[in-house]
Structure 1
């Protein structure tokens, strides 16, 4: 996510050394690098000019205090200005309305309105404990209504049926009436998109807005379209009283221009970002955290929040006790760790939120998502007895497990060796003097350690 921008901005720190104060002369080259990085990221030119001017004003004359190097001091200024550029804080949804609170989804075809509607419904149900109803008013795109119905079923969210023979406004009003009678807290209305902004589309969605009087009107836009995303958002903002933006496909956007431009150009806050295709791949947008990610500092807060939501705390506590005792750690526990990681979006999602140095170290260690999936497949091919007693898995069992998982016997051997090493590490962590024993064990393996 935003890799190109992160790499360019991270390199600035190295270029300012040995200065006691940030001055116009010693930050000139650094600011040029920042300007080029933003332009390459497809950030709108007026936004770049204003941003550079603000960074320069804030940085000039700033003392380099303590152990900070000038490059680090400048990055601190860039971090603060990036946060301001994107909105300073998270703008949460306003659901303070007589139920149902109506959320109207607008945007072009292919931007991800339908999937974002489903993801938002899931998020509101799980995190805000709201009873949500989904409805599709897209009577033009083939199978659009069916797509949302299937998504609602998959996510276990209520769905109001409609069909292509109905008028969008009639569907919306009927859904609103149903939501009111059945005590839904929120009604999410998915609307039709077009391939470009046109008068007919704008007239239709204006009529829907007038009929429903939504408390939130969210513009859904594909981050990968860069500058076009910002221009389209502005066109919709001129036609509709938008309350916020959802940036989709941010996980595939290596540039980041839309994320940095859309707030400044439209005046509308980014409320959510799409970070994966998975049902839980919609996150509240926090400008300060995004700024830190762009500058290679990671997003540990979001990582902790995700762990709080998705990790099975009872299972984690049970595993911690096993680690402390050094007994009973088996392949069921090994698999549980994989499942917990997948709930948090998998290895790639975790690495994206780590600070750049840690993320790079993990990448250098060649942690492969496919290898993790293969490991889970091998464990699934074992019997419960074999998972609990891996030491009993010999040649004939290995062949059967390999065949069941669709891998070679050597892959089963690799997993068992890896598990054996994990068991040894657990025993090092257990009991009194665990750290001393672990250091002693490491001293025998690494030259120079005593």
Structure 2
């Protein structure tokens, strides 16, 4: 229980304590923590001796205070998991009704007025300075569904799929925060010609799509040439967001051979603003999708059987997609993050196996996550079977997104009784193509 009023339906319960970057009309960008309907202004909290009970030595306190004054989370993350885990636990104690530090904020109404900002008054920003962004493809149901659409069930998954987490390098510069409109891209697409063939033309995409993913921010770097062992990979994770990997399917279909997606993906990737720390999701670990006995075993550098978390290497996060058309919102899909064939530690181990050096703030996407039943698809491509059938949404139909459509993702773990650990919402509206 907290001494501030937190709705039982709030994603930002005392069990969560996610970090983000916010600003107001009178304050520049700064680090904040979401708690109920409020944002704790971390720099203001620090300057008013809010860290007096934090259990760190003087040097670490100075380094932590300096990092908390930055306009991104990179500095905080780079201090290491013991520091940001300890900070999160300390903030929980500050807000507990029976916490160990009632004098810090609970009994200090003047400080409350200074550092507790109503969430309705803040503007959120991309939480990290993102140097690199890699998108994986570990949602096996999505991979299978797409493979069936393009190649048929017998050849749905490529031979490498059960051997390694497939991925590609995305574009960090076009990663934007929730609420940012996404302009419909132009690119080369195949159009019918008079002679019955198809020819590429520069055209606004006619097959704009969303993709629901979980994404992780790297919180610990590795040196160039030094792979991260699977047993240490979890320590390189800071926290998670939800992500919309916007896709132009018609541009993608023409360009992806032989090197994979390029302009069909680089025009925009949306992420939720609050980063849920790895510690907050520990209670919701679960087993990933089961491999069949006939499937190949992963190589030793990807083997998590000796992990302290095995066999619960992924998280049971409940995900939902709403589509708003002409002011009317409709739930079109629900799924769970447990349908991932590979975990984020496995993604890190594979990403670095060559000696590639990940850096603090790098973003790793899971790839689209879908369930096994109808109504659990993570993309419009799957819902419409590649654009071959109408998807009924209220009083209208869609095969792909149209201008003005707003896509809203939501994801949450836990229940109201113990406190929800959620990501809030991730929203984006399709804007008309540039003239």
The TM-score, its normalising length taken from structure 1, stands at 0.22
Taking structure 2 as the reference length, what is the TM-score of the superposition?
A: 0.22
Query: Comparing both structures, which one devotes a greater share of its residues to strand?
Result: 2
Q: Which has the higher contact order (CA 8 A, sep 6+)?
A: 2
Q: Which has the larger radius of gyration?
A: 1
